[in-house]
Amino acid sequence: MLDRRSFLTTSSLAALSLAAPGLLGRASAQGAALKIGVPVPISGAFAANGKFATIGAQMAAEEVAKAHGIEVSTLDLDTEGKPATAVRKVQDALAQDGIKLFAGGILSSESLAMGKEIERGGGAFMTTAGADEITGADCNRGTFRWSVPTFGAINQTVRPIIEALPDAKKWYTITPQYVFGDGLLNAAKAVFAEKGIEHVGNSYHSLTDKEFSGYLTNAIAAQPDVLLLLNFGAQSSDTLRQAVSFGLKQRMTIVVAWASGLEQFEALGPEIVEGVYFGAQYWHGADTPLNRELVARVREKHGFNPNYSFAGSYIISKLLLDAAVKGGSPEGAAVIPQLEGLKYAGLTGEEEIRAADHQVIKDYYLLKGKAKDAMADKDDFVDIVSSGKSFLSPEDSGCKMPA
Amino acid sequence: MARAGTYPPDFRRDRVIYLFQILNGIGLGMLYFLLAVGLSVIFGLLQFVNFAHGAFYLLGAYLTYDLTQRGFSFWAAMPMATLIVAGVAAAIEALLLHRIYKLPHTFHILVTVGLALVIQELAIIAWGPLGGSVPAPQGLQGVVIAGDFIYPQYRLFTIAFTAVLAGLLWWLLEGTRLGAIVRGGSESPSNMALLGYNTMRINTAVFGFGAGLAGLAGALAAPIRGVEPFMGAEALSVAFVVVVIGGMGSYTGALAAGLLVGIVQSVMTTVWPEGARLMIYVGMALVIAMMPRGLLGRA
């Protein structure tokens, strides 16, 4: 069975040999009946996420084409993780390729920028990015978001742990200082206040930090019962790796509120993951009909288990394409009404797209790392501890949807 | 005013936390020194600006990761990775870089930035874009506990190891005939050639040696930081800060600046956490403004 690392290596070689990864997609987009743009970082620090996302979108396109007997193509747009590049690529795709459907935007900053541009261009955009503003203060008619925002992520991780560990009264947080981190921190503080938890300290860090030993020393000094990590991606992996080397797993409970799931666990390894709690948008072991089907198909086609980047991109692409088929056009005016209020059997169970703010109401998972000898296979890193839905109302999220 | 011994627990803890941050800063600083000293040696002896230095650090870390994944112990993987990086760097110098030594520094930058990108992409092709973890070696996986504070044994090992290495490097460069030849090759290549020394070989050896030190830094850092394909860029920026603060080409300057940067960064995570990294660059700007040649740079 081809593993994920080998698959990505092979795809990287193929991309390299063609000089530019976008060329394949662009070539295949010519003359297609239904096209969807996939604006994700294919190069730079988030390239791994972007590459999985393009494969997920491609799989959704193939399925929609087969189900409806139409021609569907994807166009990969390398945002490089930069909002300015993302906007330029989306503008080009709107103007030159006539694309109206866009599924992507892994980073909040690029998603916020692209959403406005796509709405202005008469298209529809669905993203997996996390910042509350996407379906909050900066919501717009053309933008939809599948992932659970920071409020739900905290409520579905912090609350169950407080219930499970009633003696853990002192919590310490490590937070990246930008809008996403502050969203998580504010939500955590609200839960602490409600539950009588003592927030014994917080260390902010910059988005460029790689060394967290100083912050961990601060945390050790505060003697918390729980260390709550509110950073994301490589930074949360670095913090966790260094926390484990400081022996903190034996001294306190460690929680990563927003993990990227399988890809992160693979990079960390089971020795570090064991015993740590993780909040996650998706887990391939979730027992839902659509997820079981997806896992089986991805294993058969690609030889690996879908991770969050893959699954998120797959479902948002599929929702957009199905809506375009049903609406009879990829134009935003036809697609948006199909999506608003839609209830469907999703990857996390029953999911619904809330019409008022275009937020998908779905489950968020609390996972706990297993011991290496308890893993049934190489990807069986965690058990699902709990899952559930927690969302602010559209009014409380600050969304005033333009008419 | 409270007398010694009657301070409230929080005050005592605050004082202890700064002591631990300084200890942690020394650990960081020794790694930064090791990372920067190779860059400083290459610049000092070859007058060559090597923007691929971070890529050699990346290569050292990934080779250590790869070798430990293949079952080699860390103690075997670390020297093997260092030697492989040194060999690869020497080959690159002999085939490519020696042709551009006499060109302006802008050419050095262009070629070595390109080289860094090639190495980074090759690492992605070879090991994938996801990164990985390298376990600390057996016997150093625990922690040292002092009162309320904890410090990993492996980090203590890196401090001791790098301190010993720093002494050996100083002796090698300043106290041996080999060091004298290398320094002579830098000061007056033509005189060294007249004395029968092959300066091209000396340059190749110096470049391989400097890059090998970056590879060793990567190997040592791998159990602390893990590996990921973009770790070279961050390492390069720290190395340049250390070299600029310490003085281009100064061995002792790199040691002093590495420790200074590490301690400032670590202590600032308690004083002003969100500005900890910023303060490194503020410090560099202040040194440039007040001491343009760095703390111990040569005139």
**Cβ distance A241 to B225 under 8 Å?**
yes
Whether residues B274 and A248 touch (CB distance < 8 A) is answered with: no
- What crossing angle do the helices spanning A83-96 and A108-120 adopt, rounded to 10°? 30
Dihedral angle sign, alpha carbons of residues A368, A371, A377, A378 = positive
pLDDT category at B86 given cuts 50, 70, 90 is very high
CATH code reported for the domain at A150-280+364-394 = 3.40.50.2300
pLDDT at B187 over 80: no
Whether residues A245 and B149 touch (CB distance < 8 A) is answered with: no
Amino acid at position A214, single letter? G
Tell me, what's the pLDDT at A234?
84
pLDDT at B59 over 90: yes
Whether residues B133 and A214 touch (CB distance < 8 A) is answered with: no
Does the model's ipTM exceed the 0.85 cut? no
Tell me, what's the pLDDT at B145?
86
Where, residue-wise, is CATH 3.40.50.2300 in chain A? 4-148+286-362, 150-280+364-394
The C-alpha atoms of residue B267 and residue B270 are separated, in whole angstroms, by 6
Prediction pTM value = 0.85
CB neighbours of A28 closer than 8 A, spacing ≥ 6? A73, A74, A75
Residue of A nearest to B20 (CA): A217
The C-alpha atoms of residue B167 and residue A86 are separated, in whole angstroms, by 50
Q: Is B164 exposed, middle or buried (0-12, 13-18, 19+ CB in 10 A)?
A: exposed
The residues spanned by each domain of chain B are 31-290
Sheet with A198-205: list strands edge to edge.
A198-205, A170-176, A226-229, A253-259, A277-280, A364-369, A382-388
Determine phi and psi for A369, rounding to 5 degrees. -65, 140
**Cβ distance A158 to A135 under 8 Å?**
no
Structure tokens at B163: 């301190």
**Cβ distance A106 to A128 under 8 Å?**
yes
Taking CA A297 as the corner, what is the angle to CA A296 and CA A302, rounded to the nearest 5 degrees? Answer: 105
Tell me, what's the pLDDT at A14?
43
The C-alpha atoms of residue A141 and residue A403 are separated, in whole angstroms, by 8
pLDDT at B203 over 60: yes
**Cβ distance A102 to A35 under 8 Å?**
no
> To the nearest 10°, the Cα dihedral for B7, B8, B13, B19?
-10
Residue in A9, A210, A241 to test binding to B, most B beta-carbons within 10 Å: A210
Looking at the DSSP bridge assignments, the partners of residue A143 are: A125
Residue of A nearest to B14 (CA): A221
CATH code reported for the domain at A4-148+286-362 = 3.40.50.2300
The percentage of residues in chain B with a pLDDT greater than 90, rounded to a whole number, is 46
User: Would you call B20 an interface residue with chain A, using a CB distance cutoff of 8 Å?
Assistant: yes
> To the nearest 10°, the Cα dihedral for B123, B124, B127, B129?
140
Tell me, what's the pLDDT at B135?
92
Q: What is the mean pLDDT of residues B240-264?
A: 88
- Which chain B residues have a beta carbon less than 8 Å from that of A263? 130
Whether residues B125 and A209 touch (CB distance < 8 A) is answered with: no
Q: Is A334 exposed, middle or buried (0-12, 13-18, 19+ CB in 10 A)?
A: middle
Residue of B nearest to A206 (CA): B274
Tell me, what's the pLDDT at B36?
92
The half-sphere exposure of B103 on its side-chain side, counting CA atoms within 13 A, is 12
Q: Report the residue from A13, A214, A267 with minimal CB separation from B130.
A: A267
Identify the residue with better confidence: B208 or B251.
B208
pLDDT in tens, chain A (403 residues): 445 555 555 444 444 433 333 333 433 444 448 999 999 998 877 788 898 999 999 999 999 999 999 999 999 999 988 899 999 999 999 999 999 999 999 888 899 999 999 999 999 999 999 888 999 999 999 999 999 999 999 999 999 999 999 999 999 999 988 778 998 999 999 999 999 999 999 999 887 788 898 899 889 989 999 999 999 888 899 999 999 999 999 999 999 999 989 999 999 999 999 999 999 999 999 999 999 999 999 999 999 999 999 999 999 999 999 999 999 999 999 999 999 999 999 999 999 999 999 999 999 999 999 999 999 999 999 999 999 999 999 999 999 998 7
The percentage of residues in chain B with a pLDDT greater than 70, rounded to a whole number, is 93
Helix (H, G, I), strand (E, B) or coil at B211: helix
CB neighbours of B4 closer than 8 A, spacing ≥ 6? none
